[in-house]
Chains A and B, each alone.
Chain A
């Protein structure tokens, strides 16, 4: 039980979420991810080499920087 909080960080990686604010280079985007029995939004940045992700794009969390920043990439690369 006590390890849950430590697990949470690693758990975030690999989750899928949806873009609710455009993610792109030079922008602070927003994604919403299912987590902790609910849905929370995180500030999102694109991983390197990923272009602009429009609202509604399904993304995968690649990196989680606590507390609320994630790096994402498009889940379906065309």
Chain B
């Protein structure tokens, strides 16, 4: 229990100590300075009469209630400047800028600043603005616009010169003074810039035009080059294409070509084979046919020649034989002919003798016969002549009787002739019977009678002629011969 109380008291004491320490121990942060006043400290390096202690960047023990601790910010501050001022040339300008400043890090600056601004840290920019506004007016009043624009070094130098020591008094340092803007209500700067701007614009336009020209030239040249390159490329491509096509065609043709070549080779070989075959065949034929044929022909020829020779020999022999035979025959015939001739001669002689004898005999006989016949003919003739003479006399005396007799003698022939007219009739129809028949005959016979009348007239006409032996050339021989043959 007691231990617990002791422990609690100790703990409380520790806590109280810690709390006390916390109250007494103050730490300065990097961006601040502690200004400690109250007890008489030995001052750190600032000599006499300072009366306060400055602590930066570390902790320090402070007696609460005895010492007062104030913080002075070392942070950056800025002040916007907007100052109406007149330049050296009397040109009104409004300068706008910014001042960036801070409390100096050395103890002197901190002490100066602490004395001036410790309770007015918020008002520091305002104060600085006032300081700078006045100084800036004086600075700008000593500069020309051209200087301000062109010679910034001079501006900053002037600013440093005017403000540096001023700020040093306040324990401040100026990190940066920036002039943002110089407003120019009279247009001085603008007009100042105008000739240059115009020149620049002119130069720019010239340069632009030149550049355009060059660019256009380059572009056109490039286009021409491109066209040329395109043309060359197309030409090359066409050439390559042609080569490709050619190669492809060659390749395409290579197959058929080689095939054709192979086929040609095959054909050549086949031709060779065929030739060899033909040659072989020829040789075989020579061997098989021609040689045998030749042999046969030779044989035949030889045989024929032999035969011919034989025949010739035979013929010669035969001729010789015939010749000899003919000679023999001739001899024989001559002999025979001679013999025959002699025989014929002898026979002819004999025959002639016989013929003559026969002829003579026959002639004698014929003569005798002829004589006899002549005698008989003479006698007959005479007799006939007598008869005719008698008939002629009779005719001369009585023609009618002669004619009648002639008629009577020839009547049967006449009737036959008349009946002959009917002989060709196959069927005859007589309308008036037997009477018609006889009438018909009578008419036919009458025709004969008529002929009789004609004969009579002929005779009458010829009766005037003195030669009774030569009546009509036709009738008398007929008349004369008929009785002879009848007799």
Residues of B34-82 at the interface with A, using a CB-CB cut-off of 8 Å, are 42, 44-47, 54
Residue of A at shortest CB range from B156? A21
Q: How far is the CB of B61 from chain A (nearest CB, A)?
A: 13
A49 CB-CB contact with B under 8 Å? no
B105 CB-CB contact with A under 8 Å? yes
Residues of B207-259 at the interface with A, using a CB-CB cut-off of 8 Å, are none
- Given the known inter-chain contacts A3-B45, A5-B107, please indicate yes or no for A67 contacting B168, CB distance below 8 A: yes
- Given the known inter-chain contacts A4-B44, A28-B164, please indicate yes or no for A41 contacting B108, CB distance below 8 A: no
Task: Determine if A2 and B157 form an interchain contact, defined as CB atoms under 8 angstroms apart.
Answer: no
B112 CB-CB contact with A under 8 Å? yes
A57 CB-CB contact with B under 8 Å? no
Q: How far is the CB of A33 from chain B (nearest CB, A)?
A: 11
Residue of A at shortest CB range from B161? A28
A8 CB-CB contact with B under 8 Å? yes
Residue of B at shortest CB range from A65? B168
Chain B contacts of A4 at CB under 8 A?
44-45
Chain B contacts of A2 at CB under 8 A?
42, 44-45
Chain B contacts of A68 at CB under 8 A?
104, 106, 109, 168, 173
Residue of A at shortest CB range from B106? A67
Q: How large is the interface on A (under 10, 10 to 19, 20 to 34, 35 or more residues)?
A: 20 to 34
Q: How far is the CA of A21 from the CA of B153 in the complex (A)?
A: 8
Residue of B at shortest CB range from A38? B105
Task: Determine if A8 and B157 form an interchain contact, defined as CB atoms under 8 angstroms apart.
Answer: no
Task: Determine if B42 and A28 form an interchain contact, defined as CB atoms under 8 angstroms apart.
Answer: no
Residue of B at shortest CB range from A4? B45
Q: How far is the CA of A8 from the CA of B45 in the complex (A)?
A: 9
- Bitwise, A4-35 to B at CB < 8 A (1) or not (0) is 11111000000000000110000111100000
Task: Determine if B45 and A67 form an interchain contact, defined as CB atoms under 8 angstroms apart.
Answer: no
Chain B contacts of A36 at CB under 8 A?
105-106
A62 CB-CB contact with B under 8 Å? no
Q: How far is the CA of A41 from the CA of B106 in the complex (A)?
A: 11
Chain A contacts of B320 at CB under 8 A?
none
Residue from the list B109, B164, B171 in contact with A43, Cβ < 8 A:
B164
Residue of A at shortest CB range from B53? A2
Task: Determine if A41 and B168 form an interchain contact, defined as CB atoms under 8 angstroms apart.
Answer: no
- Given the known inter-chain contacts A5-B107, A8-B45, A67-B109, please indicate yes or no for A40 contacting B157, CB distance below 8 A: no
Residue from the list A1, A8, A69 in contact with B107, Cβ < 8 A:
A8
Q: How far is the CA of A4 from the CA of B45 in the complex (A)?
A: 7
Task: Determine if A6 and B45 form an interchain contact, defined as CB atoms under 8 angstroms apart.
Answer: yes
Chain B contacts of A38 at CB under 8 A?
105
Q: List 7 A-B contacts (CB under 8 A).
A: A3-B44, A5-B54, A27-B161, A28-B160, A29-B160, A43-B168, A67-B168
Known: A2-B42, A4-B44, A22-B153. 10 other contacts (CB 8 A): A1-B44, A8-B107, A21-B157, A29-B157, A30-B160, A36-B105, A43-B164, A67-B106, A69-B165, A69-B168
